[in-house]
Amino acid sequence: MSLLLRRPPGREAYPGDVFYLHSRLLERAAKMNDQFGGGSLTALPVIETQAGDVSAYIPTNVISITDGQIFLETELFYKGIRPAINVGLSVSRVGSAAQTKAMKQFPWPLKNR
């Protein structure tokens, strides 16, 4: 990848500024001008992993920038579980800020099975 972009290689032959490029793309997802009403838009980056490896360089970069991720698994899909969300790997950094009062009071002894 670095050779194609004519940049010095960094980790795993990606350009050294790949983290900057990811953050720049996500931050600019919807830069609304105040002149036209302002506001914001949620970006939903989609990353395909190799053999479900979320510890690879690109997935970890995007995960570190975003407020969470929904991890979809092909194996769950073929088992008939739809949406095929792996709740063990899916994360939200928003957490309780998005929960209602009733949800916060509910005892949560739920486990990933």
Told to judge if 113 belongs to the known catalytic residues of this protein, a careful annotator would answer no
Contact 7, 17 (CB under 8 A): yes
Q: Are 1 and 12 in contact (CB under 8 A)?
A: no
Is 48 exposed, middle or buried (CB count within 10 Å of its CB: 0-12, 13-18, 19+)?
A: exposed
* CB of 93 closer than 8 Å to CB of 70: no
Q: Which of 6, 7, 11, 93 is catalytic?
A: 93
Residues that are catalytic? 93
